[in-house]
Amino acid sequence: MHDTIFLNKEAVMPGFKLDNFSQFLCREKEVDHILFYFKKMFRQCPIENLLIITQGGTGVSTLLDLCVRFAEQISKQLNQKLCVITVDCEKYNTDFSILNYVRNSLPYEGKKPKALRGSCYYTRAIKEFICNYDGRVIIILENADKIKGDDYAIEMFVRMVETDHFLDHDPCKVRNHPFLIFVTKNLRFGSDFNSSLDSRYHPWTTVMTNYDGDKIRKILTERVKVAFKPDVISPEVLDLLVTTNDELDRDMSLAMDFLLRAGEIADERGQDKITLDIMQELIHKHYYEEDPKSLEEEIY
């Protein structure tokens, strides 16, 4: 099971489950869901892959700042130290640099450099730092779509963050396994990265992506034309489906199931169209099958 959070300024309804992703649609003000997952992380609770998606208007830098701010807030509440490091994957093939330090930075000979160059040194330094740091470490990898399976530097990094590479240290320090945040503007990762996502990064992975809403709308509209009579589905209903999915170009089955169920409800109510209120009702009901607030109570 993967967990997904959508950040959308225009969103009005919670999202719904699609394939293996449990999705949430929320406005920026509705930060409880994000805080919930960070609390799970800091309390060492099992947490699966967290996918945070932002669309139009919310820049990647803004989203990163938001996540860092949430993480810092939780760390202060729980009185835990936190180190956040950001790495630009686009530079991996050249210098494998840490391009930016957020808040606390990796100590290096008493200084806080803007970048550490050299994949070998980087791997050793980060691993040693994580295993000896008495707090939680979040590593944000920007331009994650640039990760390729045949990239030696990336392979070194992947091996560094795998759990078994921490087993030669004090077992009590394995808790400092880094919480990874992958950031990409592309809808899809490369095949090498995609196939290794579950096996390598589970359960410490976070993915952020900006998806192509226009592309999804086009695909969904074509499917609707085949399955439904003209004008049965209002544009508002399509808008809701588009803004709650980034996976529609890969597997439309669940979205179509929602539409078919909405059609049945419309028939039962004597309506000749699938209206927005019906779709909102379905999505809302599906979303609350697993209430984050009830899960949070278990943590405390």
pLDDT in tens, 109-135: 444 333 333 444 455 556 666 666 777
What's the one-letter identity of residue 220?
Answer: L
Same domain assignment for residues 260 and 191: no
Give pLDDT, residue 82.
76
Give pLDDT, residue 33.
54
Give pLDDT, residue 141.
63
Same domain assignment for residues 190 and 86: yes
Give pLDDT, residue 228.
72
DSSP-derived 3-state class of residue 273 = coil
pLDDT at 13 over 60: no
Has residue 49 been placed in a domain? no
pLDDT at 272 over 80: yes
Same domain assignment for residues 95 and 198: yes
In this prediction, what percent of the chain has a pLDDT beyond 90? 0
Range name among 74-88, 141-155, 190-204, 239-253 with the lowest pLDDT average: 190-204
In this prediction, what percent of the chain has a pLDDT beyond 70? 20
pLDDT band at 282 (very low <50, low <70, confident <90, very high): confident
Say which CATH number the domain at 173 has. 3.40.50.300
Has residue 2 been placed in a domain? no
Same domain assignment for residues 199 and 220: no
Same domain assignment for residues 134 and 169: yes
List the domain range (segments joined by +) for residue 167: 60-209
C-alpha span between 248 and 257 (Å, rounded): 12
Range name among 5-14, 74-83, 214-223 with the lowest pLDDT average: 5-14
Same domain assignment for residues 205 and 219: no
More confident residue, 297 or 87: 87
**Helix-then-strand count for the chain, H and E:** 10, 8
Give how many domains the chain has, as a whole number: 2
Same domain assignment for residues 228 and 111: no
More confident residue, 83 or 254: 83
Q: Could you give the angle at the alpha carbon of 212 between the alpha carbons of 210 and 214, nearest 5°? A: 150
Contact by Cβ (8 Å): 231, 275 = no
Same domain assignment for residues 126 and 223: no
pLDDT at 6 over 70: no
Which of 56-65, 92-101, 187-196 is most confident? 56-65
> In 3D, which of 198, 186, 175, 143 has the Cα closest to residue 2?
198
The pair of three-digit structure tokens given for residue 41, joined into one six-digit string: 């992380």
Has residue 171 been placed in a domain? yes
C-alpha span between 191 and 158 (Å, rounded): 16
pLDDT at 39 over 80: no
More confident residue, 120 or 144: 144
More confident residue, 94 or 154: 154
Asked if omega into 230 is within 30° of 0 (cis), the reply is: no
Range name among 76-90, 183-197, 203-217, 220-234 with the lowest pLDDT average: 183-197
208-236 pLDDT tens trace? 334 455 665 666 677 677 667 767 887 78
> In 3D, which of 41, 33, 40 has the Cα closest to residue 11?
33
